[in-house]
Every structure is written in structure tokens, then in C-alpha cells.
Amino acid sequence: MTNTQVTLVQIDNYGPWTVTPEPRREVDLQTLQSRLYADLSQLFGNREGYVFFTRFDNMIAVTNGLDHEAHALVQESVRNRYPVTVSLGTGVDPSPAVALGDATTVVQNGGSAQDADRREVLDGAVLAAADRADDDVQLAHFDVNDATGKYTDRLNEFDTFINIEQGYAALMRYMRQEHDSLSFFVGGDNIISVCPALGEAEYRDAIDAVYEEVGVELKVGVGRSRTAQGAGMAAKHALERCREEGTTVEFD
């Protein structure tokens, strides 16, 4: 069984801020968002967590091993360096979707995402040190078979992107509906899914389902560990084995 700790990061009152007193320059918003994401990647990553950019104003992180104090430090570091603040809600569950649901509820209970008075919520369940196990987190790292040869080197970049995007959209829905998993596009032709304790058959079915729906061929490496960092690196090594051996699903 997995036991995933999920954190929802939500910028406080961001929508209104972007247009007050009048619309801010898009290049500055893009810079702000992507740098905030980069900083959170490092802040969570230095504690073996993963954060996904999702919608940028709302980001989802896997944070096994980070207690409230570590979260508070992330929150403080953002406040000290950005013109915006962030709320953080946490949740823990064998099902990543349930954990995220709990994390989201924590933030929503603090007020609306566009509530000018809600600032820096920090609450929710964290996985106690005593309850942690070496297989708490399962991550699956998917990529598209020969994306460079089939798409990047052949189509115009937007049409390549449409193909990759359709593969991602199909996978994200399938994994959410069938397996309570949270799947994130991480650039190029790569997708990382935060999963419960799924086996080879489930991944094979997911890959088949995506191929049937949109014609995009995926392969996947799966890793399991105490933290997102450990599981993610194990998944990458497993995916390398897919590449070397021409296989479709590999577990580390």
C-alpha cells in the first residue's frame, strides 16, 4: 500500500492581483509564475519532494517527509521574495486523489482563492515519521515512443504539441478515473503519474487505452520509495530500461 502526502500550493488572491490596478504585463506574469515554480521545485526538492506546475497559480506537490515546519519555511521564503503569498494545504492517503481532495479542502475552508483577506493558510494532515515506510510513494514516468522521430523532427511544433497534449489529456483522465492517480506533464514528451500501488497490468491497460483513444504510443517506468525524489529517480531508471530493451512497462 502507498501512503502519499500531497500538498496544494495556491497563490493567494492571484487573479485579482494580476489585473489590479490594471492588467500587468504578460511577460512579467509569466516570469513570476515560472520562477515561483522553479523556486518551489528547489525548496520542496531539497527535502526530496516533487512539485508540479499544474496551473501555476495552483501547484500540486508530493511531500512525504515534510512536516508543517518545513512547509512554513517554504511559505516564509515565498513571502520574503515575491509580491504574492501562498496558501498550503496538506493531505495523506493511500489514494493520491483522496489526499489531494483533503489538501484542497483545507485551503478552500480558509476562504476563496479570490478572497482578499485569506492569506497563508497552512494546515492539514502530515504523515508522522513513525508511520512512514519505504514504499509510501509510487511514481510512474511515461514518455512517448520515438517522439523525436515521429513528431518533433517531422511536424510543425504546434502539431507535435497537439499530439503530445492529446496523449497527456487521455492519460490524465484515464489514470484519474480508473486509478485515483494524478498525472502531470513535465515537459518534452514526459508525464509523471502519482499512483497508488498499481501493478504491471494496470499500466499496460492505461497505455493501451491511450493508444486506442488518440493513437499515441507510450511506455512507462515505475518506481517506489519513501519519498517522491526516490520514487521518481527509480522510475527514471526503469524507463531507461524500457528504452534499452524495447519494453513497454518496467518496474525498478
Instruction: For the segment 16-75, give every residue that binds its own copies (CB under 8 A).
Output: 18-19, 22-35, 37-39, 41-47, 50-51, 53-58, 60
Closer to its own copies at the Cβ: 122 or 201?
122
Amino acid at the residue 55: R
- Going residue by residue from 213 to 252, which x/- string records binding to its own copies, judged by CB under 8 A? ----------------x--xx--xx-xx------------
Using CA atoms of 128, 133, 135, 136 in order, give the dihedral in degrees to the nearest 10: -10
- The nearest distance, CB 200 to its own copies, in angstroms, is 21
C-alpha cell at 197: 500501488
d(CA 181, CA 177): 8
d(CA 233, CA 252): 9
Closer to its own copies at the Cβ: 204 or 243?
243
User: Which positions from 123 through 162 interact with its own copies, judged by CB under 8 A?
Assistant: 148, 152-162
Closer to its own copies at the Cβ: 162 or 201?
162
d(CA 134, CA 40): 24
- In a 13 Å sphere around the CA of 47, the CA atoms on its Cβ side amount to 18
How many positions of this chain bind its own copies (CB under 8 A)? Answer: 88
**In residues, how long is the chain?**
252
User: Which positions from 160 through 219 interact with its own copies, judged by CB under 8 A?
Assistant: 160-162, 164-166, 169, 172-173, 176, 182, 186-189, 192
Burial 96-133 (b: 16+ CB within 10 A, else e): bbbbbbbbbebbbebbebeeeebbebbbbbbbeeeeee
d(CA 139, CA 7): 16
Closer to its own copies at the Cβ: 74 or 201?
74
- Going residue by residue from 90 to 129, which x/- string records binding to its own copies, judged by CB under 8 A? -------x--xx-xxx--x---xxx---------------
Residue of 77, 120, 123, 226 that binds its own copies (CB under 8 A): 77
Closer to its own copies at the Cβ: 3 or 227?
227
- The nearest distance, CB 129 to its own copies, in angstroms, is 17
Closer to its own copies at the Cβ: 126 or 194?
194
Sign (positive/negative) of CA torsion 6, 249, 148, 176? negative
Residue of 2, 3, 4, 14 that binds its own copies (CB under 8 A): 14
